[in-house]
Structure formats: structure tokens, C-alpha cells
Amino acid sequence: MVVAVSDEIAAVLAGDRSELASSSTAERVAGILRTRIMEGLFAPGSRLSEEVLGRALGVSRNTLREAFRLLCHERLTVHEMNRGIFVSVLTKADVADLYRLRRMVEGGAARLAGDAPVPLRKAVMATVEDAEVAAAGGAWLEVRTADLHFHRAIGALAQSPRVDEMMRRALAELGLAFHAMTDPEQFHGPYLGRNRVIAELVNAGRGEEAERQLYGYLTDAEAQLLAVYEGPAAAGIAGWSMDRPEPAHFEPERPAARP
């Protein structure tokens, strides 16, 4: 009997399956909201009303609630019983934790650079070049995008779908705090050179050195972000900022009372 579909074709089609199956309204709604949150349309702390969003998006409350569950699981939103869904407000402890995670995961991935296939290494370098081109043109928003791609490319060196997803989520969550950086040039500028150094080490397969560079890089970036980031500690309760195990958010802003 003849094999109907070659193995290569089967593998390609298998990769398309997720795309095929992703046509659930709830997931599409979650994707929209995720994008909007990342864009800053919904500020951290703001409440996402079921009725308002449901009407605006033309979906029922049930469907919207399913989408909310997904976003809450990604920590982009938090769910307060009988109060609703709020866009997460990262504390300084959250930012620190996210950088701790990134040092571990990105560092671990960079260390494996020597084992990674060449295309994955070249992809890292490509993101650096994108960033440099954008920086030369003064397009600092694109620089930021390229920087995100750089870090995801670093994570991809681990050749693990789960690590990829973790990177995606961690960077998305951290994006909640990046809106505090009003001057992207000042924030991203100094790292362009360091990105290139790391990319070259990766390209050369010198994983351990790349990891060390990346470790220092992330530590510096964390300090810089924390220096300007004002977490919910500003809201006024002491003993809150650094010592709470897992403060998803502090106290969301109340929406303006309806007339």
C-alpha cells in the first residue's frame, strides 16, 4: 500500500493543527484583550467590566468570562471574587521575580547555545540587526519590539516549546511594567551593544560566556527598571512592597462612579 502523505508533509500539517483549532471565540477574545493590555489601552489596575466589554466586543458574558480565565492564568489580569477582573498591577517584588525567572531561564537557554542548531543562533543575531537598524532610524518602539524578539530568540535556544511559552508569558507580564519607561531610548539604548556581544557569543557557541553576559545584562536592566518603577507600594500601605510572597496586585483603582 502506498503511503498517502509523506512524513514531512504530515509534520508540516501537524504544525498547522493548532492554528486550525484556535478558532474559538473565547480564545480570540483573549487574544484581543491581551494585545490591548500590552498596548496599554487598559491601564494596570483598571477593571474590565463584563457587561461593557461584552457589549463592545459583541460576545456574551459567558464567552467573555472564559477569555478572562485565560488571561488570569497568564497573570495579565487578576480575578477578585465578586468584584471582577482587573488588569494586573505589578509590584516591585513581581518585577524582581520576573527578572529572577528570566535570569534562570534565559541564562539556562543561552548556556545551551553550543548545542543549538545554527539557524536558531542566527535568529538571535538577526534580532540584534533589526534593533540596530531601528535604532539608527530613531524608531525606538521598534527597538523595543526587536529587543523582545532578541530575548525570545535566546529562549528558543533551549529548543523547548514549554520554555518558549514561558518566555512569551514572562515578557508579556513584564510588559505591564514597561509602560513606566517613558523614554525608550534611554532604556534600550545602552543595551544594543550588549545584545550584539551576547549574540556573537551565541553564534560562536560559547554558551557559558553568553550566560554570564546575559546575567549581568538582566541584573542591570532590572535595577534600571526598578529605579523608575513605582509599584502599588505608592498606594500607601507599609510592609507591602518586597516581603509578600505573591502579590498579584495591590488595590485596583476604582472605576469612576456612573452618573
Q: Which residues bind DNA (CB under 7 A)?
A: 24-26, 47-51, 58-63, 65, 79, 81-85, 254, 257-258
DSSP assignments along 31-79, one per residue: HHHHHHHHHTSS-TT-EE-HHHHHHHHT--HHHHHHHHHHHHHTTSEEE
62 binding its own copies? (CB under 8 A): yes
Grid coordinates given for 203: 553564534
69 binding its own copies? (CB under 8 A): yes
Instruction: Say which residue the cell 543561552 belongs to.
Output: 110
Minimum CB separation of residue 91 from DNA in Å reads 19
166 binding its own copies? (CB under 8 A): yes
Residue 47 interface partner, choices DNA, its own copies, none, CB cut-off 5-8 Å depending on type: DNA
Residue 25 interface partner, choices DNA, its own copies, none, CB cut-off 5-8 Å depending on type: DNA
- Residues forming beta bridges with residue 78, ordered by sequence position: 86
Nearer to its own copies, 244 or 254 (CB): 244
d(CA 56, CA 245): 36
Measured CA distances, 187 to 16, 70, 107, 133 (Å): 37, 31, 21, 17
Residue 256 interface partner, choices its own copies, DNA, none, CB cut-off 5-8 Å depending on type: none
Nearer to DNA, 58 or 117 (CB): 58
Nearer to its own copies, 112 or 198 (CB): 112
Dihedral sign for Cα 150, 88, 93, 74, please: negative
